[in-house]
Amino acid sequence: MELLKTDKIESRTYQEVIAASSIQENTLVVLPTGLGKTVIAAMVAAKKLETGKVLFLAPTKPLVEQHLRSFKDFIDIDEDDMTVLTGKTRPDQRYKLWKEKKVFFATPQVVENDLIADKVPVEEFSLVIFDEAHRATGEYSYVFISEKMKTHKLALTASPGGSKEKILNVGEKLDIENFEVRTEDDPDVEPYIEDRDIDWINVSLDNRFETAKESFENSYREQLQQLKKLGQLNSTSNVHKGDLLKLQGKIGSKLSNNKEPKLYKAISVVATALKISQALELLETQGVSQCYNYILRLEKDDSKAAKRALSNENFQKGKSMVEFLKKKGEEHPKLDKLRELIGDMDDDEKALIFTEYRDSTEKIAEELNTEGLNAVKFIGQQGEEGMSQKKQAEVLHAFEQGKYNAVVSTSIGEEGLDIPAVDYVVFYEPVPSGIRDIQRSGRTGRQESGKVYVLIAENTRDEGHYWSAHHKKKRMNKVLNELKNEEIERNKQKTLEGYAEEESESEDKVEVIADDRENSISKKLSKMDLIVKKERLEVSDFIVSEDTAVERKSDSDFVDSLVDQRLFEQIQELTQFENPIIIIEGEDLYSHRKIHPNAIRGALASVTADYNIPIIWTDDEKETAEMLRVLAEREQEEKDKDIAIRGNTGAKSDKELQEFLVAGLPDVNTKLAERLLKEFGTVEDVFTASTDELKNVEGIGEKKAEKIHSIIKTSYND
């Protein structure tokens, strides 16, 4: 590994062993936080760079930029050959960078979009690295990227999941053949583990807190009893927020097929219970101010659920007590305990406090600053009060430099970010997730010994969350130990050579232009090996040839657009294409809203009889994508038509503009425009070519050449 700066890396046997096996096979590395997963990635990348490009994926921009800085330290490669790709980079710039650079640090959504557009030269890559690999589940972009990039893979995580099934599922999604697992108890890792003492500190609530809490609990229990009467719950015991959210989804599904009044009543009661549960949780685990602010927001909430909660007698009692406590300046006793734990930190010590709620970051930072600490909140980007990625980076840099000695963070600070010298980590509340518990604790004890405090409000949901995380971590460690001792057999991936041969035919791939709001279908089409060009389409949802456009409507959207009179406006616009098509997806066309079936039948009859637009019916998104693929293949392969570039006002690059101009010639589609430009070099030379010269281009016979030549030479007649 000649590219590796060995003088910059401390030699650790376990890293070398893991890197050696990771070079040979697609590997998932499970390693406790702070033990150098990025170093292992650099070792593997240094070797793989000898044969191709490297892509390093991470969930957030700050984490992406952090990995770039690490690689600059660890790998001897020209900095100009490395680049960061995020949503801030314009698509045309990214497409150019994919061709020019060697090492890419990117957020997954950006890579997913460029893969759908077929702009990533996948055959040139020798390695893809997935950081925080436990995210590779469901529809997360890592799964799609793994399917599209059939090259060597390295996956990294400190917390892969609480069951063997989940871990193996992540492995399956990322084509993993080899598992390299280390825990803090392994003899080759143990010497590098700094001491990390964990104290679970119980905090008792005073009588006034208990009174408000009891009132909210009674109000919550009343909603559960109603749900039991409505036949939605078997028992009112141990029904938590997660249970209510599942019930809400279940009732919602039933309502799509059955408009029974009892179901509407039940879903309203569930929504009310969730509002009350939130107030109770904030009071129990966060504090008076947080609960008080939430109630103020409820009073401005126009929803029926908010009004039902506020009108409930027991909720009103709890609300009155919260208002009394707020007026008295009372807060959660956790704040007093927090001040006691870190209020007298030494000048060179630092603390990281985690909390679930943004309101709490503000309140905690404010309270710590009154104690003479320099505390700052650290939150995500979403919402009006969100913190931009630039601001996040500034806060972390200032923390590292000592401007702040305490950071109060939401979950944004849990994952991956390198905050090396933290002496104290405080959980303002326990989290029920084993993964998040591990990530939080891993923010200390990275280079020096550290202390972890977990604040638990007695007789509240804090205690349930603590035990939930405890059992999940125990199960995870058991599973990891099993994985270490098992030989995992997996099907080998296709060879890179075979994939390269397959990709060499990409010039003849079928293309579809998709509206950029149709992301789910676009991903399915891309998985079918079609080139998908995403545009903001004013008319239709998909264009499969220069003549054929497809409007996709779900069964509910078709009915909704009929009711609000959008349907026939859209159909009128669609007729500007020679072959417009409508796809209606789903089986509930006649049960979505209280509209007479004859009105719907009349609309369908008008579409086909008055506008001559055929309707194709599909069951779901998968079948819609299959139908679009067949339509595109039929138009482009059997009829030799191309995707129309005319009307694409979004063309940005010189190449696209040149193709746009040449494709305006009679009987010239995009493929012919590309061939003409390759043959003659410039738009000017295409337009000044003779008939004989035009005939030298494949696909242009004498008649077509004469037609092109004639239109260029004919005088404009107004």
Residue 279 lies in a domain: yes
Q: CATH number of the domain at 123, please.
A: 3.40.50.300
**Rounded Cα–Cα distance for residues 646 and 478 (Å):** 60
Q: Does residue 647 lie within any of the structural domains?
A: no
Residue 190 included in any domain: no
Looking at the fold, whether 660 and 580 belong to one and the same domain comes out as no
Q: Are residues 90 and 233 in the same domain?
A: no
Q: Are residues 22 and 158 in the same domain?
A: yes
The DSSP result for 12-51, as a single string, is: -HHHHHHHHHHHHS-EEEE--TTS-HHHHHHHHHHHHTTT
Q: What angle do CA 652, 656, 657 make, to 5 degrees?
A: 80
For residues 573 and 671, state if they share a domain: no
In DSSP notation, 220-255 reads HHHHHHHHHHTTS-S--TT--HHHHHHHHHHHHHHH
Domain holding 137, by residue range, is 6-177
- Report CA 167 to chain centroid distance, whole Å: 19
- Write the CATH number for 546: 3.40.50.10130
- Kindly report the pTM of this predicted structure: 0.61
Q: How many domains does the chain have?
A: 5
User: 530-536, long-range: CB within 8 Å, 24+ apart, which pairs?
Assistant: 530/629, 530/632, 531/117, 531/118, 531/506, 532/116, 532/117, 532/118, 533/117, 533/643, 534/113, 534/116, 534/117, 535/648, 535/650, 536/650
Which uninterrupted H or E stretch holds 213?
helix 207-229
Per the model's pLDDT, the better-predicted residue between 419 and 331 turns out to be: 331
Same domain, 168 and 311: no
| pLDDT score, position 89 | 87
Report the alpha-carbon distance of residue 677 to residue 654 in Å, rounded.
12
Taking each continuous run of H as one helix and of E as one strand, the counts in the chain are: 29, 19
Copy the structure tokens of residue 677: 């430009």
pLDDT of residue 641: 77
Same structural domain for residues 294 and 378?
A: no
Q: How does the average pLDDT of the chain come out, rounded?
A: 84
Query: Does residue 499 lie in a domain region?
Result: no
Assigned domain for 718 exists: no
Within a domain: 283: yes
Tell me the two tokens of residue 148.
């599209």
Res 503 pLDDT > 60 = no
Q: Is residue 117 part of a domain?
A: yes
Statement to judge: residues 698 and 618 lie in one domain: no
Looking at per-residue pLDDT, the higher value among 574 and 647 belongs to 574
Who wins on pLDDT, 439 or 150?
150
- Average pLDDT score over residue span 625-640: 88
CATH number at residue 309: 1.20.1320.20
Last residue of a domain, one of 606, 638, 670: 638
104 shares a domain with 70: yes
**Stated length of the chain:** 718
Q: What is the pLDDT of residues 551-573, one digit of tens each?
A: 999 988 898 888 888 888 888 88
pLDDT of residue 578: 84
pLDDT tens digit sequence for 424-448: 889 888 875 544 445 445 444 444 4
489 pLDDT band, cuts 50/70/90, is very low
H or E element in which residue 549 lies? strand 548-554
Please check whether residues 28 and 173 belong to one and the same domain: yes
Residue 100 zone, left/alpha/beta (φ > 0; ψ -120 to 50; rest): alpha
Question: Has residue 504 been placed in a domain?
Answer: no
Looking at 610, 638, 666, the residue that finishes a domain is 638
DSSP conformation class of 289: H
- Which residue reads 């969350």 in tokens? 465
Same domain, 105 and 18: yes
Please report which confidence band the pLDDT of residue 315 belongs to, taking 50, 70 and 90 as the band edges: very high
Q: Do 158 and 231 fall into the same domain?
A: no
Task: Supply the pLDDT for residue 506.
Answer: 42
* 152 shares its domain with 288: no
Given 303, 327, 351, which residue is the final one in a domain? Answer: 327
